[in-house]
Amino acid sequence: MTALTVALVLVVAAAVILRWRRPAWYWMAFGAAYATLRVLVRYASVMDACGLTVPPSRWRLAFARIANRPVPESRAPRILRVHPTCTGLLLRLKLRPGQDAFDISAASDRLRHSFAMYGVTSRELRSGVVEVRMTGYDVLKRVRMPVKTDKAPMRVPVALREDGAVHYRDYRAVPHGLTLGATESGKSVYQRNLVAGLAPMDVALVGIDCKQGVELFPLARRFSALADTPDTALDLLEALVSHMADVYQLIRAEQRMTVNVPDAEIAADIWDLPEHLRPVPIVVLVDEVAELALFASKDEEKRRDRIITALVRLAQLGRAAGIYLEICGQRFGSELGKGITMLRAQLTGRTAHRVNDESSANMAFGDIFPDAVLAAIQIPTDTPGIAVTGDSSGGWARIRAPHTSLRQAVNLCNKHADRTPELPALAPFRPATAALPSDRVPLSKTAPATV
Ligand SMILES: Nc1ncnc2c1ncn2[C@@H]1O[C@H](COP(=O)(O)OP(=O)(O)OP(=O)(O)O)[C@@H](O)[C@H]1O
Ligand SMILES: [Mg+2]
């Protein structure tokens, strides 16, 4: 055997092993180039076979007749751009007269088989231009977030979509969110990813974790306020409602409504305020929300009503004051009592992890995306973390957050502990934490008492 044959065998063996064990690496090393070549070479014949070509126009036929040339062939959409990404290929197509974006999306399954890709989706970018997004492998099997993501305030890259795009939780576009799912379906891991994404931003985190605080208390260093029982949750929520009133007073004081003030300078929410006056935005994370709505006695019922009222008020009025709700639970329906459906109607962002029955999925999507209900029920039990989410384009998509362990999230929160804002209104709920080792003063000096 010559050296060349040995090298060739080694490369082929490496490709086969990578494809089997590490599809993402295989894609970047071999798959992307091979798939680009295959798409370019087979493009015309595949489009023809999938019924995506148009017959030649009259003037082309006439021209061919005059010039005594053979009859021109049918033409496929023109390729404007082929762009390999770390999960697949992006194809931008210019449609021919008579074609529409629906033709491409209707043929996406045929294109998937013909180009031997894992998944194909398409969307219209502008009139006549369609983007076809192809994935080379199952990107949700082992989620790796791209290194480069969009950086914008209050926009967290939280999960990967089935088509390889990043799913963002954008608090300014969708202020309040609801995440549902059966037990062990991945809700808390999703929420942990949100905390990890928010930790480096200028934002105050407030947590209510009625599972005795097991999920959120380890992340306490980055939290400005935490509650682990319904009693403390009530006090915390009422403190937030009064903080919200203070923020509105501040915005009103800043509204100089004279005729000279240009439109853009009239403040109607915290983002219109000058930076030095702007109160820090607050994300309120609630895990196991049903615990807040359950009661066993008359006193507990009164407490429950006050909690739900405070949550409804925060959901109704919180956005302009920079207070955003992120609610997680196993079920969130009318059986939890009055006020729940009203609160749910305010929670625009919906995400459903695996659910056990249709009625739970209906709580997330029944009123907006009926076919997403079916997709949520079909999520298998052996893939925790896969979820269905409503997206900004008015449709829905399957997503999965990366598996961030509690240790990784704790490290990140500790690293950004100095970003934790002190909110006077929430001071009584500030979690007690010991100083980090690096912050400790040497023993020779008088050590101040740690909070
Ligand atoms: N995105 C993910 N990728 C891989 N594994 C995951 C993912 N999300 C969750 N898991 C696995 O599923 C387990 C359960 O997840 P999690 O604690 O988030 O469930 P949960 O829905 O909050 O459950 P519960 O309702 O009991 O609190 C985790 O320990 C983890 O091993
Ligand atoms: Mg949980």
pLDDT tens string 318-334: 999 999 999 999 988 88
Q: What is the pLDDT of residues 118-172, one digit of tens each?
A: 999 999 999 999 999 999 999 999 898 988 888 888 999 999 999 889 999 999 9
- Angle at which helix 230-254 crosses helix 298-317, to 10 degrees, equals 30
In angstroms, the CA 210 to CA 196 distance is: 20
Amino acid letter, residue 406: L
**What DSSP assignment string belongs to 126-148?**
ETTEEEEEEESS-TTTS----S-
Please tell me the distance between residue 357's alpha carbon and the centre of ligand 1 in angstroms.
19
In angstroms, the CA 187 to CA 353 distance is: 7
β-strand partners of 321: none
Predicted pLDDT of residue 4: 87
Tokens of 157: 């890259």
In angstroms, the CA 263 to CA 257 distance is: 10
Give yes or no for a contact between 423 and 281, defined as CB atoms under 8 angstroms apart.
no
Q: Does domain 3-135 correspond to CATH entry 3.40.50?
A: no
Predicted pLDDT of residue 449: 44
| Region(s) of the chain under CATH 3.30.980 | 3-135
Q: Is 329 in the pocket of ligand 1 (CB under 6 A)?
A: no
Q: Is 185 in the pocket of ligand 1 (CB under 6 A)?
A: yes
Query: Which ligand ends up closest to the CA of 182?
Result: 1
**Nearest CA residue ID for atom 24, ligand 1:** 183
Ranges of residues in the chain whose predicted pLDDT is under 50: 444-451
Predicted pLDDT of residue 451: 39
| Of 345, 353, 191, nearest in space to 283 by CA | 191
Q: Is 382 in the pocket of ligand 1 (CB under 6 A)?
A: no
Amino acid letter, residue 303: R
Q: Is 385 in the pocket of ligand 1 (CB under 6 A)?
A: yes
Q: Is 183 in the pocket of ligand 1 (CB under 6 A)?
A: yes
Neighbours of 1 (CB within 10 A): 7
**DSSP category for residue 77:** P
Please tell me the distance between residue 290's alpha carbon and the centre of ligand 2 in angstroms.
12
In angstroms, the CA 195 to CA 223 distance is: 9
Which atom of ligand 1 lies at the shortest distance from residue 193's CA? 1
| Region(s) of the chain under CATH 3.40.50.300 | 155-429
Predicted pLDDT of residue 216: 92
- pTM of the entire predicted model: 0.85
Provide CB contacts within 8 A for 45, sequence distance 6+.
Answer: none
Query: Which ligand ends up closest to the CA of 215?
Result: 2
Predicted pLDDT of residue 390: 83
CATH class of segment(s) 155-429: alpha beta
| Of 7, 77, 79, 75, nearest in space to 36 by CA | 79
Q: Is 330 in the pocket of ligand 1 (CB under 6 A)?
A: yes
